[in-house]
Amino acid sequence: MANPATSAAAPARASKAPEAGELVATRRRRRYSLLTRPDKILIALMVGIPLALDILFIWGPTVASVLLSFTDWAGIGDVTPQNVVGLKNYTTLFTGYAFFWPAFQHNLIWLAFLSFIATPLGMFLAVLLDRELRGKRIYQSIFFLPVVLPLVVVGFIWTLQYAPSDGFINNAFGLVKSGNIIDWFGNPSINLYAVLFATSWRHIGYIMVLYLAGLKSVDPSLREAAKVDGATEVQTFFNVVLPVMAPINVIIVVVTAIEALRAFDLAFIINRGTNGLELLSILITNNSISEASLIGFGSAIAVVLLVISLVPIVLFLSRTMRSQA
Amino acid sequence: MSTISVAGRSLKARPLLPRRIRPARLALHAFLIAAVLLWLFPLLWAVYASLRPVSETIFNGYVSWPKTLNFDNYTTVWTQADLPYFYLNTLVIVVPAVILTLLLASMVAFCCTQFSWKFNLVVLMLFTAGNLLPPQVIIVPLYWIYLHTPIASFGSIDVGRFSFALFSDNGLLYNQYLGIILIHVVFQTGFATFVLSNYMKTITKEITESALVDGANVLRIWWSVILPLCRPALAAMATLLFTFIYNDFFWGLLLLKTGDRRPITSALNDLQGQFFTNNNLLAAGALLAAIPPIIIFIALQKHFVAGLTLGSTKG
């Protein structure tokens, strides 16, 4: 899930303590002299072991995915020069593979739906709750509750809503009685939106909590000043609060994008990502970890997903690390 | 909306008057209550369906008034779907994974924030970015590693039906508790390192320096000086990591074979179709699986939200 989000906070804090950074420079020499040789070895181990694991199990496989995407390796034996096929996997992917563009489009729709509907709704709830309000905590907890549920559970809960003849929606709107049953998860032209609705149930609460934390960090005197100047609440939000929140806004954008690219569980649980629910993430696993074992081809899809993911990742790193440097 | 701020000011001017309920406030509450009911509805509907006998819903339909409500569906799922076994699988995976993640991440965060060296920023970036990658990007080579890395077998510790292999009972990482714990640790360490380093940055380096002057070694400073200071952040992270790892579906699906070792989330999906022959059982199963994270959330909500927003507020 979207852990990255989490650290929404980094920039806000870093900007608060610029003096700390300046001190480092002057102190650097003294601190180094304090470390004994065994200390330095200990530090190397304390960083080195986790780093080795990170490289071995995450960055190594990432590079391997890129390299394998230029081969037709089937996963048996060694990769030999005969396996290298150049860009063939990519040309097949873009021109000959019927599921790629639909999956790509579904990821885009997923991103657009979260960006333009779910995320703004989460922000809206945060703005509504960012005030002295009776029962505020209860509201907040309920909106956040779906975020803690496993996606399998979310999928099952929404199955109970969407099921064709037993589901709540079709029964409550009389569609079962009148014989106009809508197969929400089964009809390929609407099932993506049905899934997005269920996803938003979680996503909105997540964004709300992140944004609420950001709103709390806004200097209250800014708002008071705007109020004194006669600005309405809506004006204050768009002209004063939103610009101050720029660092958090970037993180919200990044979280939304990464959630959209990672989407896997719900589509897989509903129908293994077929029949209108194809997603890049699912195509990767279906092609490479299955009887087909098209490792090179699956890797090419992984590289496409990687390249797209690098956009929000780099954005996130440049925003958070710049303030740390 | 504008009335809210105006009303707020007028209230300040007349502090002695009793607090009036303002129309805008009332509208806000009405909206929020409606939204909250909408939010809870799918969950409450699942609770309702899970409490009704199948026979009754077949006869009257799901959207009908209840005649009998009982916990029979829960007992059926609990006993016949082997649910306790899958809960324990999850527990065996989650507990070591959370502890190891916190240990490793706090080491890296400690070394990267308390000491300045050439590459500490690069290291932090590697960890952070690694956690942001979609797991599917690395799954193909990772799957191969899991099938081809030889792991020693030194027998196992057997407790009832459980067999905890030391370290692998098939000589591989695939389909082993060890393997699934490992990938959770590696993936979550990236995230935990980022959050903990944000927290540790607020601890003055003078603490570490004076401990060094007093002759403590680095490991000792990390364990008995810095970690106690990070208790709130560690509690928040433990809560979050528990939920993240509990909720995992993807790793359990791909790195564990169907059946015996899967955690409750992936196991629940395996039961779809064959065992969950009706929506009442499905609802009961889903809710049973949801109970641990919901309890954690309700009991430790403060930590949960703190973990998600660590750094943005003052801690």
Position A4 in a domain: no
CATH number of domain containing A84: 1.10.3720.10
ipTM of predicted assembly, 2 dp: 0.86
| Residue of chain A whose alpha carbon sits nearest to that of B299 | A141
On whether the CB atoms of residues A317 and A8 are closer than 8 A, the answer is no
Q: Strands, E, within chain B: which ranges?
A: 153-159, 162-167
How do residues B264-289 score in pLDDT, each as one tens digit?
Answer: 888 888 888 777 778 888 899 999 99
Interface list for B 88-117 with A (CB within 8 A)? 104-105, 107-108, 110-112, 115-117
Residue A39 placed within a domain: yes
Q: Which residue ranges of chain B lie beneath pLDDT 70?
A: 1-21, 259, 311-315
Amino acid in the structure at residue A176: V
Rounded CA-CA distance A234/B118 in Å is 47
* CA-only gyration radius of chain A, Å: 24
Cβ distance A14 to B201 less than 8 Å, yes or no, reads yes
Q: Which domain holds residue A289?
A: 9-322
B266 in A contact zone (CB under 8 Å): yes
Predicted confidence at residue A33, as pLDDT, reads 61
Residue B72 Cα to chain centre, angstroms:
29
CA B109 to CA B237: how far, in whole Å?
A: 13
By C-alpha distance, which of B188, B114, B241 is closest to A50? B188
Q: What percent of chain B has pLDDT over 90?
A: 36
Q: Do B132 and A201 touch (CB under 8 A)?
A: no
pLDDT value of position B6: 38
Which residue among A156, A233, A258 places its CB closest to the CB of B4?
A: A233
Inside any domain, residue A3: no
Query: Cβ A65–B138 below 8 Å, yes or no?
Result: yes
DSSP-derived secondary structure for A217-250 = TS-HHHHHHHHHTT--HHHHIIIIIHHHTHHHHH
CB B192 within 8 A of CB B105: yes
**Structural domain includes residue A199:** yes
pLDDT at A1: 43
Give the model's pLDDT for residue B228.
94
Residue showing tokens 């490793």: B104
Cα of B98 vs its chain's centroid, Å = 10
- A117 inside domain: yes
DSSP of B215-270: T--HHHIIIIIIHHHTHHHHHHHHHHHHHHHHH--HHHHHHS-SSTT--HHHHHHH
Q: What is the pLDDT of residues B122-168, one digit of tens each?
A: 898 899 899 899 999 999 999 989 988 888 888 788 877 777 878 88
- Record the tokens describing residue B113, joined without a space: 């924030």
**How many domains, in total, are found in chain A?**
1
A146 belongs to a structural domain: yes
B210-228 tens-digit pLDDT? 888 888 888 999 999 999 9
pLDDT tens digit string along A140-189? 999 999 999 999 999 999 999 998 888 888 888 888 888 888 888 888 88
Q: Distance (Å, rounded) from C-alpha A311 to C-alpha B129?
A: 11
User: Looking at chain B from residue 167 to 226, which residues have their Cβ under 8 Å from any Cβ of chain A?
Assistant: 182-183, 185-191, 193-195, 198, 201-202, 205, 209, 212-213, 217-219, 222
Radius of gyration of chain B (CA): 25
Determine, for residues B297 and A148 on separate chains, whether the beta-carbon distance falls below 8 Å: yes
The residue ranges of every structural domain in chain B are 2-9+23-76, 77-309
**Does domain B77-309 match CATH 1.10.3720.10?**
yes
Measured in residues, chain A has a length of 325
CB A8 within 8 A of CB B309: yes
Residues of chain B contacting A230 with CB distance shorter than 8 Å? none
The parts of chain A modelled with pLDDT lower than 50 are 1-31, 325
d(CA A59, CA A266): 26
Distance CA A108, CA A106 (A): 5
pLDDT at A10: 42
Residue B111 C-alpha, separation from nearest chain A C-alpha, in angstroms: 6
For A13-54, write each residue's pLDDT tens digit. 444 444 444 444 444 444 456 788 888 899 889 999 999 999
